[in-house]
C-alpha cells in the first residue's frame, strides 16, 4: 500500500516493492585478465559530465591541462539537463549576495535571457512581501526572501556546457561508461571504460571522479557513508518529466486565489493516482515540470530498484496527465514532451574525505583556511558555509579528487551540498586543483592550497582565504597511513 507523507513541503511516497524480484544466482564467474588498448593519455581525466564534471573539465583545461571528459550518456549537464532538474537552486545568500560564482556566473552570462526565468538582480535578497510571494510560486523565494534560483531550459544548458568544454580545449568522449579505476601503488592512474568500441583504458596524472555516485573512488577502495534514512527525501528517487501546452499563469492564479479548490484538486489526485505530485514552473509559462513523485525506500545502486522506479514513474506520468487534463485549471491542453533520460537520484555514496562539510559550520560560519568556495545555508537562521578543499580529497588513495553530490559531508549538510550550484562550485575547485597538481607533478593532497585559492579567484570564484582561522584543522596524512587507520 502506497503511503504519502510530508517532508518540509514535499510529499514522499513509500511505494514499497511491487515487482516480483528474481533471486540472483549464488554463482560467480571469473573474468579472464586481458590487455586493453589505451584510448587516451592526459593530465586530467574527468569521469562524468554532470554539473561537477563539466565545471571541473573547463577549469582544468583553462589552466593549461590536457583534459579528457568521459561521459556515459549523449549530453553534458547530468541531472541538471538529462534528469530535467533545471531548477537551479540558490546561488545567493540570504542577504542577496551571490556567493556561488565563477563557473556558475559564466553559465548564466552565456544563457540567452529567453531560456532563463528568475528574479532580476535588483530583487535578490528582497524581503518585499509582494515580490517574495510572486517568486515563491516560481521557486525563487523562501522564508519571504527573494533568491537567485532560476529555472533554465535544459537543452540550452546542454549547449552552453558543450560550448564551454570545447572552447576551453578539453577533449570530450561521450557514450563511454567508466567501470573500474586503474590503481597502482595506492594512487589512481586513470580508468577502464566500456563503449561500443569495447573495453579500453584512459591514463591520467590526476583523475576527477564526478560520477555523482562515487563509482571510481568506491572501486579504488575509498570508504563512503550512506547513513541517510531510506525514507528521507534526500534518498528518494524518481524520473522527472515535462509537459507543454499548459497555462502556468492560470494554474498559479488558481493556487493563490482558490486554496480550497487547490486542496480539493490535490485530494482528488491522491485518491485517483495515490503517488500524486504538483507541478513546478519552468523557463516558459507553457511548460510544466514534475520533479516527482519521490519514491522512497529504494537504492540507486541496485539495478532491480532502478528498473522498478523507472517503470513506476513512467506509468505515473500518464496517470497524472489524465487527472490534470480533466481537472486542473491551465492543463486542459497539456501534452507530454519528455520524460527524463536520466533517473533522478539524490543520494547514494558520500565519500570519506580528508575534510568534511559538517553541521557545526551552519552556526559558526568561520571561513576555513582551505576554503575553495562558499555555499549559501539552508535557511536564514544559519551562516554561509565554507567549503574546504579536503572535502574533495578522498582518504586512503592518491591521484583522485571527487567533487559533486558524493563529496565528503555529513548527512544533513548533504541536503544543500548536493544542489547544482554547489556541484558547479566543487567541480570548479576540483578541476583547478587537478590541473595545478598535474602541472607541478604533485599529488592533489600535497598541493599548496593558497595557490589553488588564488587560481580560483582568478577564474572568478568567491573564496575568502585570508580570513582563515583554523590552522589546527586535520590535514591529510599519507594515503598509506590513512589506509592503515581505516583497516
Ligand atoms: C529529483 C531531483 C530533484 C532535485 N532538485 C534540485 C533542485 O531543485 N535544484 C538543484 O540545484 N538541485 C536539485 N537536485 C540535485 C542535483 O540535481 C544533483 O545533486 C546534481 O545534479 C549533482 O551533480 P553531479 O555533477 O554531482 O552529478 P550528476 O548530475 O548525477 O552527474 C553525474 C554525471 O556522471 C555521469 N556518470 C555517472 N557514472 C558514470 C560512469 N561510471 N562513467 C561515465 N559517466 C558516468 C552521469 O551520466 C552524469 O552525467 C535534485 C536532484 C534530483 C534527483
Q: At what angle do helices 449-458 and 420-440 cross, to 10 degrees?
A: 120
Of 149-158, 230-239, 442-451, 453-462, least confident by mean pLDDT is 230-239
pLDDT at 22: 87
Distance, CA 289 to ligand 1 centroid (Å)?
A: 17
Q: What are the helix (H) ranges across 34-171?
A: 51-62, 103-110, 129-136, 154-168
Distance, CA 379 to ligand 1 centroid (Å)?
A: 23
Distance, CA 340 to ligand 1 centroid (Å)?
A: 12
Asked whether 92 lines ligand 1 (CB < 6 A), one says no
pLDDT in tens, 23-53: 999 999 999 999 999 999 999 999 999 999 9
Distance, CA 291 to ligand 1 centroid (Å)?
A: 13
The pTM of this model reads: 0.95
Tell me which residue of 147, 130, 50 sits closest to 427, measured CA to CA. Answer: 50
pLDDT at 1: 33
CA 4, CA 373: separation in Å to the nearest integer?
37
CA 369, CA 173: separation in Å to the nearest integer?
36
Distance, CA 212 to ligand 1 centroid (Å)?
A: 6
Distance, CA 220 to ligand 1 centroid (Å)?
A: 21
Question: 254: which 3 cell numbers?
Answer: 488558481
Neighbouring-strand partners of residue 237: 295, 345
Cβ atoms of 213 and 82 within 8 Å: the answer is no
Cβ atoms of 98 and 105 within 8 Å: the answer is yes
Mutate to test the pocket of ligand 1, among 188, 392, 419, 426 (most ligand atoms within 8 A of CB): 419
pLDDT in tens, 82-130: 999 999 999 999 999 999 999 999 999 999 999 999 999 999 999 999 9
For residue 244, the tally of other CB atoms under 10 A from its CB is 15
CA atoms within 13 A on the CB side of 447: 34
Asked whether 87 lines ligand 1 (CB < 6 A), one says yes
pLDDT in tens, 289-346: 999 898 998 999 999 999 999 999 999 999 999 999 999 999 999 999 999 999 999 9
Cβ atoms of 465 and 367 within 8 Å: the answer is yes
CA 437, CA 398: separation in Å to the nearest integer?
11
pLDDT at 487: 61
**DSSP letter assigned to residue 343:** -
Considering the segment(s) 36-111+153-228+347-465 as one domain, its CATH architecture is: 3-Layer(bba) Sandwich (3.50)
Neighbouring-strand partners of residue 218: none
Cβ atoms of 238 and 75 within 8 Å: the answer is no
Domain ranges in the chain are 36-111+153-228+347-465, 119-149, 231-345
Is pLDDT larger for residue 280 or for residue 476?
280
293 prior amide bond cis, ω within 30: yes
Mutate to test the pocket of ligand 1, among 12, 47, 211, 431 (most ligand atoms within 8 A of CB): 211
Asked whether 154 lines ligand 1 (CB < 6 A), one says no
Asked whether 247 lines ligand 1 (CB < 6 A), one says no
Q: What class is the 231-345 domain? A: alpha beta
pLDDT in tens, 225-259: 988 777 777 788 999 999 999 999 999 999 999 99
pLDDT in tens, 159-174: 999 999 999 999 999 9
CA angle 73/76/81 to nearest 5° reads 95
Amino acid at each position: 500500500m502506497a503511503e504519502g507523507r510530508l517532508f518540509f513541503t514535499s510529499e514522499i511516497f513509500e511505494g514499497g516493492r511491487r515487482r516480483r524480484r528474481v533471486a540472483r544466482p549464488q554463482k560467480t564467474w571469473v573474468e579472464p585478465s586481458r590487455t586493453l588498448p589505451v584510448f587516451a593519455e592526459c593530465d586530467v581525466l574527468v569521469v562524468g559530465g554532470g554539473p561537477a564534471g563539466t565545471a571541473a573539465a573547463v577549469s582544468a583545461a583553462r589552466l593549461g591541462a590536457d583534459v579528457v571528459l568521459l561521459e556515459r550518456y549523449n549530453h553534458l549537464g547530468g541531472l541538471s539537463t538529462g534528469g530535467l532538474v533545471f531548477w537551479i537552486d540558490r546561488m545567493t545568500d540570504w542577504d542577496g549576495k551571490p556567493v556561488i560564482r565563477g563557473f556558475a556566473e559564466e553559465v548564466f552570462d552565456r544563457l540567452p535571457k529567453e531560456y532563463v526565468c528568475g528574479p532580476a538582480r535588483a530583487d535578490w535578497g528582497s524581503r518585499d512581501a509582494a515580490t517574495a510571494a510572486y517568486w515563491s510560486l516560481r521557486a525563487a523565494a523562501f522564508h519571504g526572501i527573494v533568491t537567485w534560483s532560476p529555472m533554465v531550459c535544459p537543452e540550452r544548458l546542454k549547449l552552453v556546457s558543450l560550448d564551454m568544454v570545447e572552447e576551453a580545449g578539453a577533449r570530450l568522449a561521450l557514450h563511454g561508461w567508466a567501470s573500474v579505476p586503474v590503481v597502482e601503488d595506492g594512487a589512481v592512474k586513470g580508468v577502464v571504460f566500456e563503449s561500443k568500441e569495447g573495453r579500453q583504458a584512459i591514463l591520467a596524472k590526476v583523475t576527477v571522479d564526478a560520477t555523482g555516485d562515487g563509482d571510481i573512488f568506491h572501486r579504488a577502495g575509498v570508504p563512503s557513508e550512506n547513513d541517510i534514512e531510506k525514507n528521507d527525501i534526500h534518498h528518494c528517487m524518481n524520473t522527472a518529466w515535462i509537459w507543454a501546452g499548459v497555462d502556468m499563469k492560470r494554474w498559479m492564479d488558481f493556487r493563490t486565489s482558490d486554496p480550497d479548490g487547490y486542496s480539493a484538486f490535490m485530494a482528488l489526485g491522491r485518491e485517483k493516482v495515490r503517488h500524486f505530485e504538483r507541478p513546478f514552473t519552468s523557463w516558459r509559462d507553457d511548460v510544466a515540470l514534475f520533479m516527482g513523485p519521490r519514491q522512497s525506500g529504494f537504492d540507486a545502486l541496485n539495478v532491480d530498484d532502478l528498473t522498478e522506479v523507472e517503470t513506476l514513474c513512467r506509468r505515473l506520468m500518464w496517470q497524472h496527465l489524465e487527472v490534470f487534463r480533466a481537472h486542473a485549471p491551465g492543463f486542459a491542453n497539456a501534452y507530454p514532451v519528455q520524460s527524463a533520460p536520466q533517473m533522478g537520484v539524490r543520494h547514494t555514496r558520500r565519500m570519506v574525505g580528508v575534510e568534511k562539510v559538517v553541521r557545526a559550520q551552519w552556526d559558526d560560519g568561520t571561513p576555513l583556511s582551505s576554503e575553495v568556495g562558499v555555499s549559501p545555508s539552508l535557511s536564514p537562521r544559519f551562516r554561509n558555509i565554507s567549503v574546504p578543499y579536503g572535502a574533495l580529497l578522498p582518504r586512503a588513495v592518491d591521484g583522485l579528487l571527487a567533487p559533486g553530490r558524493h563529496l565528503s559531508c555529513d548527512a544533513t549538510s548533504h541536503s544543500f551540498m548536493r544542489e547544482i550550484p554547489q556541484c558547479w562550485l566543487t567541480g570548479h575547485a576540483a578541476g583547478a586543483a587537478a590541473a595545478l597538481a598535474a602541472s607541478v607533478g604533485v599529488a592533489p593532497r600535497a598541493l599548496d592550497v593558497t595557490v589553488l585559492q588564488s587560481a580560483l579567484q582568478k577564474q572568478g570564484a568567491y573564496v575568502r582565504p585570508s580570513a582563515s582561522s583554523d590552522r589546527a584543522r586535520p590535514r591529510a596524512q599519507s594515503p598509506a597511513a590513512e589506509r592503515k587507520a581505516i583497516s
